[in-house]
Amino acid sequence: MKELFEKKLRWTNEDIAAIEYELLKGLMRTRSVEAVESAITYGAYLNSIGITNSNYPIFLKMLSIRNHYVIDALLGDRDPFLFMSSIQPNYFVVATCFTFLGKYQPEEIYSKTLGIILGVFQAAYSNPLDGYKIYPPSIADINGLGKHLIEKKGQDDLLNRSILDILDKISELEGQNVDESMEDLAVHAHNIRNNFYDSTKRLVDVIPDVLLRTEENLDKEISPRKYVPLTKAAEGKKESVNGKNNGRGKTV
């Protein structure tokens, strides 16, 4: 028992890293105003350094945060669909994105987060067979993708159209004669797409009803006390510098 009351004499790098990781996990849960504000700042920092092959896992972790203020800071003024274009799609990236879609209810996912995920799928399955070799989706994965089609918005909606295009690419796997699972996957993707376009059919006829149900999210999004988007903050800083220098008669 004596050891419990003694100071730890030596902290290893692993001990310190474990503490840092626990604190970072608390930040990413965004369950307090302070955590949200810290996550926004961290997202802005990641935006400033950019996504690379050595740091992309932390960017994926940030995408799991259900707070649009944090995602806005992470994304900045970049096109969501191109946000991860500098990273070659791999099994981990694609699988993680499908997992995200499976966890969200229809209409619950932030539009920019969905855009980033769809951009990954567009890159991965631009050549369907190559994409299948990178990550072969399951029927559950395709249901997780299809459930985010919002029928009331129609096919002209950007996100709907992007999902339909991805389903179309996957449906091209039919007839490749690789294996039965691929054939079933391609047919299912085609059926979801067809049911969306056909006014006499519904998604619930091809996607399990339980996946299409929506329930009130009990974890309400917490807002920061005073939020300025990254792009506006940069503009404000530039104006401040210009104004200050102009007062001294200098041109920036």
**Structural domain tally of the chain?**
2
- Closest by CA to 66, choosing from 219, 228, 236, is 219
Residue 146 is assigned to a structural domain of this protein: yes
Residue 171 shares a structural domain with residue 160: yes
Q: What is the pLDDT of residues 132-144, one digit of tens each?
A: 999 999 999 999 9
Residue 57 shares a structural domain with residue 116: no
Instruction: Return the pLDDT at 23.
Output: 85
> Band of the pLDDT at 187, cuts 50, 70, 90?
very high
- Closest by CA to 63, choosing from 89, 34, 84, is 84
Q: Is the pLDDT of residue 68 over 60?
A: yes
Structural domain containing residue 64: 16-78
Residue 233 is assigned to a structural domain of this protein: no
Residue 147 shares a structural domain with residue 199: yes
Residue 158 shares a structural domain with residue 74: no
Tell me the average pLDDT of the chain.
87
Q: What is the pLDDT of residues 157-182, one digit of tens each?
A: 999 999 999 999 999 999 887 789 99
By the 10 Å C-beta count (0-12 exposed, 13-18 middle, 19+ buried), 151 is classed as middle
Residue 55 shares a structural domain with residue 92: no
Q: Is the pLDDT of residue 86 over 50?
A: yes
**CB contact set of 158 (below 8 Å; sequence gap of 6+):** 115
Locate 225 and state its tokens: 């006390």
Helices (H), 76-179: 91-103, 111-124, 128-134, 139-146, 158-171
Residue 48 shares a structural domain with residue 157: no
Residue 60 shares a structural domain with residue 185: no
Residue 114 shares a structural domain with residue 65: no
Q: What is the pLDDT of residues 8-54, one digit of tens each?
A: 667 888 888 888 888 888 888 888 999 999 999 999 999 999 999 99
Query: How much of the chain exceeds pLDDT 90, in percent?
Result: 69
Q: What is the pLDDT of residues 221-232, one digit of tens each?
A: 889 987 666 566
Residue 176 shares a structural domain with residue 124: yes
Residue 248 is assigned to a structural domain of this protein: no
